[in-house]
């Protein structure tokens, strides 16, 4: 360990700028998340939010939009309310909850603010607080810890030859 108490960079887990993450306490798998070093707090897309007694909240998480919209209702403790500047720079009050996140084989507790992200490709942003001391972001790659799922095509095989060399460099 360095004097600051942080791990040296060579001991941090390398992560791509976009990963699929699991939120096991909430029963969510392979949520598309953008790793956002410009954001302090992590965020997840919600459509509806209800305040319950004893600092609890109930909310509808939108964890996938393509090919079809998928949501799940979650009930959790609100650990705090936070005023955050949104992407337009305007202050916005948000509810913050804690849950476990899994990226690849690594798990840890993080805080997630709940906000509607209807026009964003990624349903979740992972901010600096969740990354600090655990992950090193590699902006040149995606899905470093969570490889893309291989799907089988149900379409008929193509008769085209694949003899043309690829323009992309092999990884």
CB-based contact 23:99 (threshold 8 Å): yes
What phi and psi, each to the nearest 5 degrees, are found at residue 29? -125, 145
* pLDDT at residue 121, rounded to an integer: 83
* pLDDT at residue 155, rounded to an integer: 46
* pLDDT at residue 156, rounded to an integer: 45
* pLDDT at residue 163, rounded to an integer: 39
Measured in whole angstroms, the distance separating CA 92 from the mean position of its chain's CA atoms is 21
Q: Is residue 120 classed exposed, middle or buried when 0-12, 13-18 and 19+ CB atoms within 10 A define those classes? A: middle
Q: pLDDT 10s per residue in the chain (171 long)?
A: 444 556 667 789 999 999 999 999 999 999 999 999 988 999 999 999 999 999 999 999 998 878 888 899 999 999 999 998 877 888 989 999 999 999 999 999 999 999 988 778 888 999 999 999 999 999 999 999 988 766 655 544 444 444 334 444 444
Measured in whole angstroms, the distance separating CA 25 from the mean position of its chain's CA atoms is 15
* pLDDT at residue 162, rounded to an integer: 40
* Locus of tokens 């897309």: 45
* pLDDT at residue 58, rounded to an integer: 97
| Number of residues in the chain | 171
CATH annotation of 10-138: 2.40.70.10
What phi and psi, each to the nearest 5 degrees, are found at residue 17? -75, -10
């Amino acid at each position: 360990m360095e004097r600051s108490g942080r791990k040296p960079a060579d001991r941090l887990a390398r992560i791509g700028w976009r990963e699929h993450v699991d939120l096991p306490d909430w029963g969510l798998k392979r949520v598309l998340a953008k790793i956002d070093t410009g954001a302090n707090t992590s965020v997840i897309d919600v459509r509806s939010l209800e305040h319950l007694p004893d600092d609890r909240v109930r909310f509808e998480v939108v964890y996938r939009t393509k090919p079809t919209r998928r949501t799940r209702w979650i009930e959790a403790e609100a650990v705090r309310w936070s005023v955050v500047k949104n992407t337009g720079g305007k202050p916005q009050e948000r509810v913050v909850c804690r849950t476990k996140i899994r990226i690849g084989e690594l798990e840890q507790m993080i805080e997630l603010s709940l906000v509607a992200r209807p026009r964003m490709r990624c349903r979740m942003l992972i901010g600096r607080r969740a990354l600090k001391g655990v992950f090193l972001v590699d902006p040149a790659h995606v899905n470093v810890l969570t490889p893309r799922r291989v799907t089988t095509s149900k379409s008929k095989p193509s008769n085209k030859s694949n003899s043309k060399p690829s323009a992309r460099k092999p990884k």
